[in-house]
Amino acid sequence: MAIFDLFVFIFCGTFMMGYDDSYSETQGDYFSFSSMKMEHKIVWGFYNFWIVLNAVFLLYIMYKIYRKLALK
Contacts of 33 (CB under 8 A, 6+ apart): 41
Over the stretch 13-62, which tens digit does the pLDDT of each residue have? 999 999 988 888 888 889 888 889 999 999 999 999 999 999 999 999 99
Count: domains in the chain: 1
Q: Looking at the whole model, is its pTM more than 0.75?
A: yes
Give the residue numbers spanning the domain of 41: 2-70
Burial of 8 (0-12, 13-18, 19+ CB in 10 A): middle
